Amino acid sequence: MISPKVWLALPVLLISLSLMGKPANAAASPNSGTRGRARAVEMVRERSFRLQNVEVRYDLDTDYTPDAAAIALWRRVEKRVMKQYPDARAGPPFRGNFTYHCDFMFLAGRMRYGKQPTGHLRSGVPGEVQTSTLGRAETLVCAREGVPTGGEISAHAPPLDSLAISSVLGLRQPSRRNWSWIRPGAVGKMVYSRLSRARFSFTQKEANGDDYRWVFRRTARGLELTFLVASNRSQSGGRYVYLRGKFSDFHSVKGLLLPERAEESFFGGVNIPDPVRRDILTHIRYRVDSPSNVPKDYLIVWPKGATVIDERIDRVFHIKSPTTLSDRDIFLRLKKRDGGPHK
């Protein structure tokens, strides 16, 4: 017969025996969390390194319904444009459905993005090519009937369109204002959260109130970036722009799991139920570590007849034969003209 003292000690004995079988779990919370974070950082950093040379082609379907704030901003821009260019005619802000075929290239911080309208848009909406490299951005508006080819060079960040695919890849914070791309080393400074056995997230909070969160999933085939959410304070400081992205249909590209489909919704605020813009990316195809992806392709070759405005120095260039306009090219042109615009 078991004595009362043994019965009283039995629960403690059972707990002790269970811990003897797996002593690491006695300190499981801090140690396993630290190991889990280190492994997650390693996996995301490796993924980021592998995506420093990537080319992407995809179809983009956009539904745009500008809210009151977007329309008010459009009206302010329209008023400024009309004042500066009295002969200009600006129509209402775009709304409705738009479809494009898009190309995206990335090479260690350089970006090139192009879109061509498809379907009923071909005759009414111009295509564009945009590049950014070393703190400068170029935009070429492709000619449509009755509209000459033109472009600009500026110090602005690439526009929202290129953010869709770069956010899908996890290359850049999804913000209009943030120029920088996510460097592999930056992952270790983000806040790690374990969501389940297979899912974890990294969160980055900026001093200006911007907030970014990426959700990853470990699978038998590798690592998937499945979801992102971001909130950005507007440039006026008073309104937040909220983004939610969901990625699916992953397939392997040289050992990287990348989505064939993505959906991103942009909201006028965190608590606003209906998006002002929804982008659906389909038929996404990738090339990783392509030898044809080289730095010279990140300067636009301006076509003959184009008018290019360099907003940084307030100069206009009329292109007489296909050429690039690197900063050195611009310097030499202005030097030939004694500081005046190239005719």
Query: Considering only 45-54, 166-175, 178-187, 225-234, which range has the smallest mean pLDDT?
Result: 178-187
Answer for the pair 123, 145: CB distance below 8 angstroms, yes or no: yes
Residues 305, 162 share a domain: no
Residues 322, 207 share a domain: no
205 domain-assigned: yes
Give the model's pLDDT for residue 326: 93
Residues 124, 237 share a domain: yes
15 domain-assigned: no
Tokens encoding 202: 């990294």
- The helix/strand/coil state of 322 is coil
185 domain-assigned: yes
Residues 76, 223 share a domain: yes
Round to whole Å and give the CA distance between 97 and 163: 19
Q: Given a cut of 80, is residue 286 above it in pLDDT?
A: yes
What's the domain range around 324?
Answer: 301-336
Residues 172, 129 share a domain: yes
Q: Is the pTM of this model over 0.95?
A: no
Q: Given a cut of 90, is residue 325 above it in pLDDT?
A: yes
16 domain-assigned: no
Give the model's pLDDT for residue 118: 84
Residues 242, 201 share a domain: yes
Round to whole Å and give the CA distance between 308 and 326: 12
Q: Given a cut of 70, is residue 292 above it in pLDDT?
A: yes
Q: 253 pairs with which residues across the strands? A: 256
Residues 166, 72 share a domain: yes
Residues 115, 67 share a domain: yes
Tokens encoding 157: 């960040």
Q: Given a cut of 80, is residue 312 above it in pLDDT?
A: yes
Residues 305, 293 share a domain: no
Q: How many domains does the chain have?
A: 2
114 domain-assigned: yes
What number of CA atoms fall less than 13 Å from residue 102's CA on the CB side? 27
Residues 158, 249 share a domain: yes
- What band does 219 get if pLDDT is binned at 50, 70 and 90? very high
The mean pLDDT value for 177-206 works out to 84
Residues 269, 328 share a domain: no
CA distances from 175 to 168, 180, 271, 295, 318 (A): 13, 10, 18, 25, 33
